[in-house]
Chain A
Amino acid sequence: MKRFIETSGRHRKIEGWPLVFTILVTLSILVGGIVEFLPLVLVKSNIPRIETVKPWTPLELAGRDIYIREGCNNCHSQMVRPFRQEIERYGEYVKPGETIYERPFLWGSKRTGPDLYRVGGKYPNLWHVRHFDDPRSTSPKSIMPRYTWFQKQDLNFDGIGRKMQTLQTLGVPYSDEEIASAADNAKRQAAAIAQDVVASGGPANLEGKEIVAIVAYLQRLGTDIKGSSASTAAAGISDVPSGTN
């Protein structure tokens, strides 16, 4: 050690060789990442598969991208930790296998508002519609801003297929038929949610708006682990083709 660090020692030599120095630095910074990352890819038992976990439906995928666009993850986490107080407050803690279709992951790092991972099925669709229009109408002291434009802006149904195609290339098991019928499928699910909102006494004509997509996404969140039938029932959907949900 002493030979290495003394003023005229061996380290002094490599201070005169920028290329060697740079190579040594590069090797030093690569080790940690490789050792930690490779097992996550190569060792399957790190992320045990859960049979009931399925890819997002087209409408939910569109809703998830709205969640990303609005930066919801800056205030809401999606990661229930295995503590008694969190399971009590939010529900079952999150398993690795539940997250395999999260591109990108949205676990978050700050809870300015509550965790949302198990919010699926917790409230009726109309609750979400009202909450987005004015969070104070459902939680009186909430500091969340209003998202009034969700009920006004049209959802881009035609763009969903392209997104699914990209995800298919990345390995998400969407079939070609599912991609081809993405817009129709999304419109069916949107209509079901819009009907449910009207039936519960909420506003009409939401089936083409962004609000139905984000509600569909939130109603699906964290429900797959209960089995696929539970998740569709919670979201108020009955006519989504099996295999996409």
Chain B
Amino acid sequence: MTTHNTEAASGVQANARQGSAEIDINSYNDRIVRYFVLATILWGVVGMLVGVIIALQLPFRGANLGQYLTFGRLRPLHTNAVIFAFAGNAIFAAIYYSTQRLVKARMFSDAMSLFHFWGWQAIIVSAALTLPLGITTSKEYAELEWPIDIAIAVVWIVFGANFFLTLKNRREKHMYVALWFYIATIITVAVLHVGNSLALPVSLTKSYPIYAGVQDAFIQWWYGHNAVAFFLTTPFLGLMYYFLPKAAERPVFSYRLSIIHFWSLVFIYIWAGPHHLNYTALPEWATTLGMTFSVMLWMPSWGGMINGLFTLRGAWHKLRDSVVLKMYVIGITFYGMSTFEGPMLSVKSVNALSHYTDWTIGHVHAGALGWNGFMTFGMIYWLVPKLWRTELWSQKLATTHFWIGTIGMLLYVFSMYTSGITQGLMWRAFDETGRLAYPDFIETVVQIIPMYWVRMVGGTLYLTGTLLLAFNVMKTIAKAPKDLPDPAFALPSSAYSA
């Protein structure tokens, strides 16, 4: 019999022994999940709003407002906000909700959970302050300077400790597949963050990396690519494996497929980073390795997509009435599309055209808006009624969100494909005398400005959808009961303990 650190805020007597130590009464910490859900929505709105602003700054330079709000300073704020604040809080909500239920134990420590929550929000606020001030390392998705990097490491370690100690307290012997993905996330993000952030400080706001040139470029894209892998893919696959079967009320399609695609995904993903450096000064053997593993990555990625979509076998009719399942189907489909597109873009001959153009921007937004966004929205629409113990305020509004978001996303992605391919072809065009057909770079920019406007409209629609979600959740919470005790459950104390 293990003891559990389970002080329930609601006053449920945690771990009380009933009579002869045969029944445990325990509870889940859902308050922390509510916090993370609200933070997800708040930062989602902020991050996407900054996205719309920088989308406007490209066709309309008047939107560059002074020294602190230029495109160059706001773009990292947008990427950091949507990745680490929006998607970050979403995966923490998913992990805190599902882990407790999958292991039948409360999170190890309420204090550590709260420290994780407030620490992470403080890091986000410090990013929102330092990036416009020009305090940046310039390394993509790792722009934050060294004091914030240290704070990230500390908060992440507390999060990891809280998670693993909860696993230790588990009352289910075997870990469900979602937990495998959470483990991979926690370990790998820690390794990547520390590895890429190693730097020597000059002052509190400036540091130089210990790597230079080619090595720095390699390490950065080892990190950058695997931030996509282990911050935006593996935790969301874990989320999918828990929340999709719950919403569809169907078991996962294939246990064997989940084993095969999990291990191949975590092994292969790490090798793929150098495809961001095709044809650069990185030695060719490295980019060829990166390209080869990127193409191999297609299969484990589609293993996840197939396991997700086939879980809906016999449940497709439920899509008509369930906005949650609608969101998941679009989310998983976009996962499949972007994990096909990614390997394709990594192939050198394709990359020669696409690299440095908006095609890359279109590609990441297919993944970010489609997969990360819609999986998050689906989870929130499923979770909010459970966490606040009341029906969703408006199903209709949620369905409207679904359609507005989908249309916005399609406008975004296809305008960027058009712009990227157009500009890529113009850069490489020669006239019949063998000279560049468009020797002035600006000609190739003027050509794609209309697409920048379409992109901005698409992004604004997507943001509007998120605002509808925020409004719907606010209205739902307004009619929720005042008292929200942590859900309690009873188990025979002879249940498995590690």
B281, A96: Cβ atoms closer than 8 Å: yes
Which of B200, B256, B267, B273 is the one whose CB lies under 8 Å from A166? B200
From known contacts A70-B134, A166-B208, A169-B200, infer whether A81 and B279 are also in contact, taking CB-CB under 8 Å.
yes
Q: Does B204 belong to the interface (CB within 8 Å)?
A: no
From known contacts A102-B216, A110-B356, A139-B442, infer whether A21 and B266 are also in contact, taking CB-CB under 8 Å.
no
Q: Does A163 belong to the interface (CB within 8 Å)?
A: yes
Which of B184, B214, B283 is the one whose CB lies under 8 Å from A29? B184
A-binding segment of B67-75, B109-117, B148-156, B404-412: B67-75
Which of B216, B282, B356 is the one whose CB lies under 8 Å from A104? B216
Minimum CB distance partner of B272 in chain A: A32
A166, B202: Cβ atoms closer than 8 Å: yes
From known contacts A102-B212, A104-B208, infer whether A36 and B357 are also in contact, taking CB-CB under 8 Å.
no
Q: Nearest Cβ distance between residue A110 and chain B, in whole angstroms?
A: 6
A106, B138: Cβ atoms closer than 8 Å: yes
From known contacts A70-B72, A77-B356, infer whether A145 and B57 are also in contact, taking CB-CB under 8 Å.
yes
From known contacts A103-B216, A109-B276, infer whether A162 and B203 are also in contact, taking CB-CB under 8 Å.
yes
Q: Does B274 belong to the interface (CB within 8 Å)?
A: yes
Q: Does B136 belong to the interface (CB within 8 Å)?
A: yes
Digitize A1-27: 1 where CB-to-B-CB distance is under 8 Å, 0 elsewhere: 000111100011001101001100110
Give complex CA distance A141, B138 in Å.
27
Digitize B414-453: 1 where CB-to-A-CB distance is under 8 Å, 0 elsewhere: 0000000000000111100001100111100110010000
Q: Does B217 belong to the interface (CB within 8 Å)?
A: yes
B217, A74: Cβ atoms closer than 8 Å: no
Give complex CA distance A77, B139 in Å.
13
Q: Does A122 belong to the interface (CB within 8 Å)?
A: no
Q: Nearest Cβ distance between residue A4 and chain B, in whole angstroms?
A: 8
B217, A107: Cβ atoms closer than 8 Å: yes
Minimum CB distance partner of A47 in chain B: B214
A29, B270: Cβ atoms closer than 8 Å: yes
A105, B442: Cβ atoms closer than 8 Å: no
Which of B64, B174, B267, B440 is the one whose CB lies under 8 Å from A15? B174
Q: Does B11 belong to the interface (CB within 8 Å)?
A: no
Give the residues in chain A near B139, CB-CB below 8 Å.
104
From known contacts A36-B218, A143-B59, A170-B210, infer whether A74 and B183 are also in contact, taking CB-CB under 8 Å.
no
B280, A94: Cβ atoms closer than 8 Å: yes
A109, B140: Cβ atoms closer than 8 Å: yes
Which of A69, A101, A162, A170 is the one whose CB lies under 8 Å from B134? A69
Q: Does B187 belong to the interface (CB within 8 Å)?
A: yes
A26, B274: Cβ atoms closer than 8 Å: no
B279, A85: Cβ atoms closer than 8 Å: no
Chain B contributes a number of interface residues (CB within 8 A of A) equal to: 98
A83, B352: Cβ atoms closer than 8 Å: yes
Minimum CB distance partner of B293 in chain A: A32
Give the residues in chain B near A109, CB-CB below 8 Å.
140, 276, 355-356, 360
Which of B72, B168, B289, B427 is the one whose CB lies under 8 Å from A36? B289
Q: Does A123 belong to the interface (CB within 8 Å)?
A: no
Give complex CA distance A4, B260 in Å.
10
Digitize A71-82: 1 where CB-to-B-CB distance is under 8 Å, 0 elsewhere: 111110101011
Interface members, chain B 269-309 (any A CB < 8 Å) = 269-271, 273-274, 276-277, 279-283, 285-286, 289-290, 293
Give the residues in chain A near B230, CB-CB below 8 Å.
29
Give the residues in chain A near B286, CB-CB below 8 Å.
36, 39-40
Which of B217, B220, B428 is the one whose CB lies under 8 Å from A85? B428
Minimum CB distance partner of A165 in chain B: B202
Give the residues in chain B near A242, CB-CB below 8 Å.
none
Give complex CA distance A166, B57 in Å.
36
Give complex CA distance A61, B399 in Å.
54
Give the residues in chain A near B191, CB-CB below 8 Å.
26, 29-30
B208, A71: Cβ atoms closer than 8 Å: no
| Residue with the highest number of chain A CB atoms closer than 10 Å, among B202, B276, B277 | B202
| Residue with the highest number of chain A CB atoms closer than 10 Å, among B73, B283, B289 | B283
Minimum CB distance partner of B72 in chain A: A71
Q: Does A243 belong to the interface (CB within 8 Å)?
A: no
Give the residues in chain A near B256, CB-CB below 8 Å.
5-6
Q: Does A114 belong to the interface (CB within 8 Å)?
A: yes
B70, A71: Cβ atoms closer than 8 Å: yes
Q: Nearest Cβ distance between residue A122 and chain B, in whole angstroms?
A: 13
Digitize A110-137: 1 where CB-to-B-CB distance is under 8 Å, 0 elsewhere: 1111110000000000000000000000
Could you list which residues of chain B lie within 8 angstroms of chain A, going by C-beta atoms?
57-59, 61, 64, 67, 70-73, 75-76, 134-140, 164, 167-168, 173-175, 180, 183-184, 187-188, 191, 195, 200-203, 206-220, 222, 230, 255-256, 259-260, 263, 266-271, 273-274, 276-277, 279-283, 285-286, 289-290, 293, 352, 355-357, 360-361, 427-430, 435-436, 439-442, 445-446, 449, 498
Could you list which residues of chain A lie within 8 angstroms of chain B, going by C-beta atoms?
4-7, 11-12, 15-16, 18, 21-22, 25-26, 28-33, 35-37, 39-41, 46-47, 65, 68-75, 77, 79, 81-83, 85-86, 88-89, 94-96, 98-115, 139-146, 149, 159, 162-163, 166-167, 169-170
Other A-B pairs beyond A29-B266, A81-B355, 20, CB < 8 Å:
A16-B173, A16-B174, A32-B270, A40-B283, A47-B213, A47-B215, A68-B136, A74-B72, A81-B280, A85-B429, A99-B213, A100-B214, A101-B213, A104-B211, A104-B220, A105-B214, A105-B216, A111-B357, A143-B59, A166-B207
Pull 17 A–B residue pairs with CB atoms less than 8 Å apart, ordered by A: A5-B255, A25-B187, A32-B270, A36-B222, A37-B218, A68-B136, A69-B134, A71-B70, A75-B72, A81-B280, A85-B427, A96-B213, A101-B213, A102-B213, A105-B212, A106-B138, A140-B442
10 nearest interchain CB pairs?
A71-B72, A99-B213, A32-B270, A32-B271, A145-B64, A69-B134, A111-B356, A81-B279, A114-B441, A96-B281
